[in-house]
Structure 1
Amino acid sequence: MGKKGILLVNLGTPDSPKTADVRKYLDEFLMDGRVIDVNPVLRTLLVKGIIVPFRGPKSAKIYKEIWTEQGSPLLIYGKNVKNAIADRLGEDYHVELAMRYQSPSIPDALERLKQAKVDSIKVIPLFPQYASASTGSVHQLVMEIVSQWQAIPSISFVNSYYDHPGMIKVFADNTRKYLDEGWDHILFSFHGVPQRHMRKADVSGEHCLKVKDCCKTLTENNKFCYSAQCHQTAKLIAEELNLSDDKYSLCFQSRLGNDPWMQPYTSDVLKELAGKGVKRILVLCPAFVADCLETLFEISFEYQEEFEELGGEKVQLVESLNDNPAWIDALEDIILNKN
Structure 2
Amino acid sequence: MEISGMDVPVVKESPVARKPVGKTGVLLVNLGTPDSPSVPDVRKYLREFLMDGRVIDIPYAQRYMLVNGIIAPFRAPKSAKVYREVWTENGSPLKYYGEIAERELQKQLGSEFVVKLAMRYQNPSIDAGLSAFQQLGLTEIIVIPFFPQYASATTGSIYEKVMAIVGKWQVIPKIEFTNSFLDHPKFIEGFAQRARPYMDRESFDHFLFSYHGLPERQIRKGDTTGQVCKLGDCCSSLHAQNQYCYRAQCFETTRLLVKALGIPEGKYTTSFQSRLGKDPWIKPYTDDVIPELAQKGVTSVLAFSPAFVADCLETTVEVGVEYRELFEKHGGKRWQLVDSLNDSPIWIELLVDLVQKARQS
TM-score normalised by length of structure 1: 0.98
8 Å CA contact retained: 1:121, 1:154 = yes
Q: Does residue 193 of structure 1 match 2:195?
A: no
8 Å CA contact retained: 1:203, 1:221 = no
Deviation, 1:152, is 0.6
- Runs of 4+ aligned residues of structure 1 deviating over 3 Å after TM superposition are none
* Deviations 1:224-265 (CA, angstroms, capped at 9, x unpaired): 001111111111011001111211110001111111111000
Deviation, 1:314, is 2.4
Q: RMSD in angstroms over aligned alpha carbons?
A: 0.9
Aligned partner (choices 198, 201, 206) of residue 178 of structure 1 = 198
Aligned partner (choices 279, 300, 305) of residue 259 of structure 1 = 279
- Structure 1: how far apart are the matches of 2:230 and 2:285? 16
Say which SS state the counterpart of residue 9 (structure 1) adopts: strand
- Structure 1: how far apart are the matches of 2:268 and 2:357? 32
Amino acid paired to 2:218: H
Aligned partner (choices 211, 229, 237) of residue 249 of structure 2 = 229
Q: Does residue 40 of structure 1 match 2:60?
A: yes
Matches within 5 A, 1:75-224: 75-179=95-199, 180-209=201-230, 212-224=232-244
Deviation, 1:282, is 0.7
How many aligned positions are there?
338
- Structure 2: how far apart are the matches of 1:101 and 1:145? 14
Alignment partner, residue 299 of structure 1: 319
Alignment partner, residue 13 of structure 2: none
Say which SS state the counterpart of residue 177 (structure 1) adopts: helix
* Deviations 1:69-117 (CA, angstroms, capped at 9, x unpaired): 1100000000000100010000000111100000000000000111122
- Structure 2: how far apart are the matches of 1:227 and 1:216? 10
* Deviations 1:141-189 (CA, angstroms, capped at 9, x unpaired): 0000000001111111111111000110010111101003221111100
Deviation, 1:335, is 1.3
Name which one, 1 or 2, has greater alpha-carbon Rg.
2
Say which SS state the counterpart of residue 307 (structure 1) adopts: helix
8 Å CA contact retained: 1:166, 1:327 = yes
Q: Does residue 315 of structure 1 match 2:335?
A: yes
- Structure 1: how far apart are the matches of 2:166 and 2:193? 39
Say which SS state the counterpart of residue 266 (structure 2) adopts: helix
- Structure 2: how far apart are the matches of 1:95 and 1:77? 14
- Structure 2: how far apart are the matches of 1:245 and 1:120? 45
Amino acid paired to 1:152: I
- Structure 2: how far apart are the matches of 1:5 and 1:296? 32
Deviation, 1:337, is 1.3
Say which SS state the counterpart of residue 94 (structure 1) adopts: strand
Q: Does residue 27 of structure 1 match 2:16?
A: no
Identity of aligned residues (%): 54
Amino acid paired to 1:66: V
- Structure 1: how far apart are the matches of 2:277 and 2:336? 27
Q: Does residue 247 of structure 1 match 2:267?
A: yes
8 Å CA contact retained: 1:255, 1:261 = yes
- Structure 2: how far apart are the matches of 1:227 and 1:22? 29
Q: Does residue 74 of structure 1 match 2:55?
A: no
8 Å CA contact retained: 1:187, 1:282 = yes
Alignment partner, residue 10 of structure 2: none
8 Å CA contact retained: 1:299, 1:315 = no
Structure 2 unpaired stretches of 5+: 1-20
- Structure 1: how far apart are the matches of 2:330 and 2:277? 24
- Structure 1: how far apart are the matches of 2:192 and 2:179? 23
